[in-house]
Structure 1
């Protein structure tokens, strides 16, 4: 590692030579192609539908509704304005995440230009452009790549602040970027741990950023975050929305790096642990190489290991260990590997080149898993197999005026609402909890997206269901034979639309009254989105 001298000012421009300019264009082309290739193929699933439907509301409603979920509001607010400009189509909605991740790549290159050699910069750039976990969540309408953008931007601002403490703009940038990160996802706190560790080590080494300035900057972040803190406390007290995360196992931890890079395969657990061993070796090489530059080495190594280890320890109490929450930390993996290969390449250039080719091959293998939708991430199988978009499209061709639509489960209701163009407000089948109350009456999470005046669409008992329509469509994302026992005997199935695991079943109600000509059986509501 060869950092820029302390007398240098920041930011330092990227090298202006033709070769470097061409290299930058090539890296951007690779990164954009990797992130936009097949970006519209996966179906919008529950989490993405939640993001889009929420973002279609006003900023005020976004703030209030997100307070009843498990995340802060900034991503949804930005998505709101993004969709005002570019629409709510699959490509436009997902492109915000994709472009945020490309921005993170550029920020990583900037960070490397401040602390490493040019060779390390370009190795890191290539590996970042192909990093499978980044590509995977670049193609999802969620906040994980945006969090990575804010945190990497804050890290660059912090290093610039250390390099040029007399420049007042860098602490301002740091405060704003960290505040944005906290308003995007609560795991921004893990970035704070990394930054405090770096500042403490740097203060012991040189003391460029005084204690008073550092405390003042962090206090400013807290002050800017004060409007959300009461809502954060309310979310923490409710402790809902994390029950889907399985308890932590040693297998999950030891194969975590494999999950980020290779992503899938039938390899044994021993082989899957190899990437973790290799990244530990690379991290050790980075830390041992530059003893006099220890703060910067720790910053880059700690950017991955501190969040992962912290989440591991927390998960021993409350399970929160999940790859998508640590996408921002995974961006440090190419930086660590690039620094290690750069160090080894000074003595064993051929060996380092072979290692680089092997790593690129592993990433390409991981990308193939992303595009084939076999990457083992949360929601991937649903995005691949639950072809609810095709079913809703077929329903739009087959539905008639006066038809009723019933969607089984909120999990499918939100994606159905996103794709629904029939003009019919669907009903929602819910079930009773053991307490006897209807699931969803607490009005948080996805339930908060259903306005109160539409709560009459909920039902859980067919014997009390009053329908004037003769034709009823039952829509579900997973066809389940046990549903047959639910339907009343006078419901006669007449047609089935099926794509993948999703289906819409048409039932004719034999003894239902015929609607009057010209009369609507129910007030037709516009789609919720």
Structure 2
């Protein structure tokens, strides 16, 4: 009798504890999501749209059946641009609306990561990981950019969760189907998804080695074969892109400093710390200690710990090896792998917390301080990542708004180089189709623009809008706006003598000059060439053979002959 009453009481207590835990978890989840959204939406509209983002925005304005062939002439697969197309139809194509897609994808990655941790780790480790993920600087940085890096993170984390669920319930075929679809979506979003496949194969091999009944070879190979089959429609385009090997010229060669500082650009990100400083090595050493803790834990859990450790280290190591031949290491390409860092730290801190509480608290404090430094670097735009200097220093948004107020209906607008053309075209509200000036080679041989990358997009609806000889430029009203990267005083020699500059608008790393023709031009045999002029100190210079630009990150404070006529740009 008493035993039955005790059993009922125990069950009642267990139910109350379970309900209380569920409530706490729900409140905690809501708090983490709100924190993540606040961190990602904070200052999201401050950086100006730069070349890469403008490419995404302008391409997404095309129809899905036009996006496919244009993307085939770029360096990435098309899925992100198609999704962005429909997203922009739904919420608009302003900066906040467009970047919010990356925010939602990143918050989705956070939720999926919490689910993964709930499957493979303790409750305490799950919430440590949730907090660190909500504040992860590299995720926040690329959730504020109109690119595909947080989207591929979402697909890959979803596929990883599906794989773990499949391992735990191999008879439920829906997990296998979900895994195939998510991995296919990842491949159609970014090619570095292949690196996560290697992580999954390592995990499968380890789990199968421990429990042979889980995911037999036939089922696993069949699932991976299905991914390959679904990717076949794009395979020919991928092979052609691979053969061209374009778009990687901006990535610096691999150095020992890059290897030792591996974790820094994903977490602390503070560009003011010298590259040679040993402080940059500390995060890498701490992550290695945490990873070692996971690998020596209970052998029964080692398969899942290998998954967590491999999620970051396998892609990074493979990229390092490949970079010995072709430099491909860039933090933004490995944003998906950086999601594994908080997971590794969380499980390690949970293991240490049992016996080493002081060490656990100290380590948690250190990681939070490091992430806080990274967040400040993101918000202050001093993270040192590719594109940050351009987004900070060049205000094409304000420049384009000022031109729109000053322009006349029959003016001509010329943008000097593709690097500035795409973002200017995104911001352009004048109703005038800008033209592109293409540098001529020193041999005086005219060279047609390539039909790849930004050119494939720019000339989609505007064939004939580029030129490489100023003498062929025909002006209807005798007024021309010239938008270019900021240069020194010698840039005036680029233009014919009958062009008189009457106004210069300063946009930080870019400027716009208004020229008026004061007399009929004398006949010219050929327009001026870049080789005719002294070397120019530019913020950006064009690599015509690679469809890329290199940005120095500096705004040159050089006075020009027209300095007295220069007007600072007021906000629109």
TM range (shorter): over 0.9
- Corresponding residue for residue 214 of structure 1: 220
Is residue 266 of structure 1 aligned with residue 273 of structure 2?
yes
Distance 2:419 2:264 in 1: 29
Distance 1:318 1:15 in 2: 54
Assess if the C-alpha contact under 8 Å between 1:467 and 1:512 holds in 2: no
Is residue 101 of structure 1 aligned with residue 106 of structure 2?
yes
From 221, 240, 253, the counterpart of 2:246: 240
Assess if the C-alpha contact under 8 Å between 1:341 and 1:356 holds in 2: yes
Deviation at 1:425, TM superposition (A): 0.9
- Corresponding residue for residue 229 of structure 2: 223
Distance 2:173 2:490 in 1: 65
Aligned to 1:497, the other structure's residue is in SS state: strand
Aligned to 1:498, the other structure's residue is in SS state: strand
Which shows bigger deviation, 279-288 or 457-466?
A: 457-466
For residues 488 and 317 of structure 1, do their structure 2 counterparts lie closer, same or farther at Cα, with a shift above 3 Å needed? same
For residues 205 and 49 of structure 1, do their structure 2 counterparts lie closer, same or farther at Cα, with a shift above 3 Å needed? same
Distance 1:179 1:436 in 2: 47
Deviation track 1:435-494 (CA, whole Å, cap 9, x = no partner) reads 766566220000001236623221122223222221111112434434211011111110
For residues 119 and 15 of structure 1, do their structure 2 counterparts lie closer, same or farther at Cα, with a shift above 3 Å needed? farther
From 354, 361, 365, the counterpart of 2:373: 365
For residues 367 and 237 of structure 1, do their structure 2 counterparts lie closer, same or farther at Cα, with a shift above 3 Å needed? same
Deviation track 1:411-453 (CA, whole Å, cap 9, x = no partner) reads 0000000000100111111113467665662200000012366
Aligned to 1:476, the other structure's residue is in SS state: strand
Task: List aligned pairs for 1:403-418, cutoff 5 A.
Answer: 403-418=411-426
- Corresponding residue for residue 149 of structure 2: 144
From 496, 510, 514, the counterpart of 1:502: 510
- Corresponding residue for residue 33 of structure 2: 28
For residues 88 and 468 of structure 1, do their structure 2 counterparts lie closer, same or farther at Cα, with a shift above 3 Å needed? same
Assess if the C-alpha contact under 8 Å between 1:283 and 1:340 holds in 2: yes
For residues 353 and 243 of structure 1, do their structure 2 counterparts lie closer, same or farther at Cα, with a shift above 3 Å needed? same
Scaled by the length of structure 1, the TM-score of the pair is 0.92
Aligned to 1:389, the other structure's residue is in SS state: helix
From 489, 494, 502, the counterpart of 1:481: 489
**Where in structure 2 are there 5+ consecutive unaligned residues?**
1-17, 522-572
Is residue 134 of structure 1 aligned with residue 139 of structure 2?
yes
Aligned to 1:280, the other structure's residue is in SS state: helix
Deviation at 1:369, TM superposition (A): 0.5
Deviation at 1:250, TM superposition (A): 1.2
Which shows bigger deviation, 289-298 or 168-177?
A: 289-298
Assess if the C-alpha contact under 8 Å between 2:411 and 2:476 holds in 1: no
Deviation track 1:161-211 (CA, whole Å, cap 9, x = no partner) reads 000011110000000000000000000000000000000111110120011
Assess if the C-alpha contact under 8 Å between 2:459 and 2:465 holds in 1: no
Distance 1:214 1:303 in 2: 19
Deviation track 1:124-149 (CA, whole Å, cap 9, x = no partner) reads 00000000000000000000000100
For residues 248 and 434 of structure 1, do their structure 2 counterparts lie closer, same or farther at Cα, with a shift above 3 Å needed? farther
Assess if the C-alpha contact under 8 Å between 2:294 and 2:302 holds in 1: no
- Corresponding residue for residue 18 of structure 1: 23
Assess if the C-alpha contact under 8 Å between 2:309 and 2:344 holds in 1: yes
Distance 2:469 2:480 in 1: 15
Task: List aligned pairs for 1:239-388, cutoff 5 A.
Answer: 239-264=245-270, 265-267=272-274, 268-388=276-396
Aligned to 2:500, the other structure's residue is in SS state: strand
Aligned to 1:455, the other structure's residue is in SS state: coil
Q: Give the number of the structure whose alpha-carbon radius of gyration is greater.
A: 2
From 154, 158, 182, the counterpart of 1:177: 182
Assess if the C-alpha contact under 8 Å between 1:290 and 1:297 holds in 2: no
For residues 26 and 512 of structure 1, do their structure 2 counterparts lie closer, same or farther at Cα, with a shift above 3 Å needed? farther
Q: Count residues with an aligned counterpart.
A: 501
- Corresponding residue for residue 420 of structure 1: 428
For residues 68 and 291 of structure 1, do their structure 2 counterparts lie closer, same or farther at Cα, with a shift above 3 Å needed? same
- Corresponding residue for residue 532 of structure 2: none
Deviation at 1:73, TM superposition (A): 0.2
For residues 229 and 493 of structure 1, do their structure 2 counterparts lie closer, same or farther at Cα, with a shift above 3 Å needed? same
Distance 1:78 1:97 in 2: 11
Is residue 167 of structure 1 aligned with residue 172 of structure 2?
yes
- Corresponding residue for residue 458 of structure 1: 466
**Where in structure 1 are there 5+ consecutive unaligned residues?**
1-12, 514-529
Which shows bigger deviation, 472-481 or 389-398?
A: 472-481
Aligned to 2:481, the other structure's residue is in SS state: strand
Deviation at 1:22, TM superposition (A): 1.3
RMSD: 1.6
Deviation track 1:332-377 (CA, whole Å, cap 9, x = no partner) reads 0000000110000111223212221221111011101000000001
Deviation track 1:60-101 (CA, whole Å, cap 9, x = no partner) reads 110000000000000000000000000100001001111100
Which shows bigger deviation, 494-503 or 229-238?
A: 494-503
